Structure 1
Amino acid sequence: MDCRVVVEAAVPVYDVETPEEAVRIAISKTGQMLNPDLNYVEIETGSRRTPSGEERVPAFVAADEALVALELQMDVFNVDRTEHASRVARKEIGQRLRNIPLKVLDTEILEDDTAGTDEPDASPDDGAVDGNGSTDRDESAGGNG
């Protein structure tokens, strides 16, 4: 089974004046820590809400320091259960984001036909590599691996 896992990260940022600046720096900092090993992890701003449901900026700034909520999305392939996918994603991301708290927000099972929706964009000599560095599954190899 293949799963998409969303992990929330609390990224500290220093010497910033505005929440918008903190978010930009946090995304850049996180991208640098993940690349080149995990360049397939998508980085998005997290969401924060007040108890009444009002939307807030995903960064809290105090004394020129900020804590930014980011959501990191990663596809995990060939796992037995969604819990296994969550552990794999958290471990892979956590190894590169040392001392940054992580929390698994969501794990969803990817359907087989969703993987085929991206193929028309790939050119024939791309070799279509998945997030773990292996090439697309060869259907003649058994399929139910």
Structure 2
Amino acid sequence: MNCRVVVEAAVPVYDVETPDEAVRIAISKTGEMLNPDLNYVEINMGSRSCPHCGEELEPAYIAADESLVALELEMTVFNVERDEHAARIARKEIGQRLENIPLEVLEIEEIEDESDDEESDETSTAEETASDTDEASADRETTDADTDEDILPEFEELIDE
């Protein structure tokens, strides 16, 4: 089974004045730490909401020119046994490169295997081909039976001579 795992990272950024600046720097900093080894990890702005009122907040919290930025890191994990296995692999792979940055698994989504789709397509195509072949064989047998009747008397005549 293959899974898409989304992990939230709290990335600290220093000497910033605006939330937009903090987010840009956090994405750049995270990209540098992940690349080139994990260049397949997608980095997106995280979303935060007020725990009391549910209001949407900026992904960066700024205090004293320092910021803590919420980023979502998304990666696909292949050939896992279950969701928890995929989460552990994603946290380990990303966590090894993002030292001292807390990570939390937000979402695990099982994705369809392309090979399963191809196999089912091949199976249905093989079944269609087999049924077509059976029909063609039945038609040929009918035709051969008609032809055998015509050929057999001539053959018997040759043997008699």
Q: Answer yes or no: same fold by TM over 0.5.
A: yes
Aligned CA RMSD, in angstroms, stands at 1.8
How many residue pairs get matched? 117
Aligned to 2:98: 97
Aligned to 1:5: 5
SS in 2 for 1:39: coil
Normalised TM-score (structure 2): 0.70
Alpha-carbon distance in structure 1 between the residues aligned to 2:11 and 2:116: 31
Aligned to 2:145: none
Q: Rg bigger for which structure? A: 2
Cα deviations across residues 18-38 of structure 1 (Å, max 9, x unaligned)? 111000000000000000000
Aligned to 2:21: 21
> Displacement, 1:113?
4.4
Cα deviations across residues 5-49 of structure 1 (Å, max 9, x unaligned)? 000000000000011100000000000000000000000000011
Aligned to 1:122: none
Structure 2 unaligned regions, length at least 5: 123-161
Structure 1 unaligned regions, length at least 5: 117-138, 140-145
Larger relative helix fraction: 2
Alpha-carbon distance in structure 2 between the residues aligned to 1:90 and 1:32: 18
CA distance 1:30–1:36, shift in 2 (3 Å): same
The residue type equivalent to 1:83 in the other structure is E
CA distance 1:12–1:3, shift in 2 (3 Å): same
Aligned to 1:33: 33
Cα deviations across residues 36-68 of structure 1 (Å, max 9, x unaligned)? 000000000000111212111100001100000
CA distance 1:115–1:29, shift in 2 (3 Å): farther
Alpha-carbon distance in structure 2 between the residues aligned to 1:88 and 1:112: 18
The residue type equivalent to 2:93 in the other structure is E
Aligned to 2:109: 108
Normalised TM-score (structure 1): 0.77
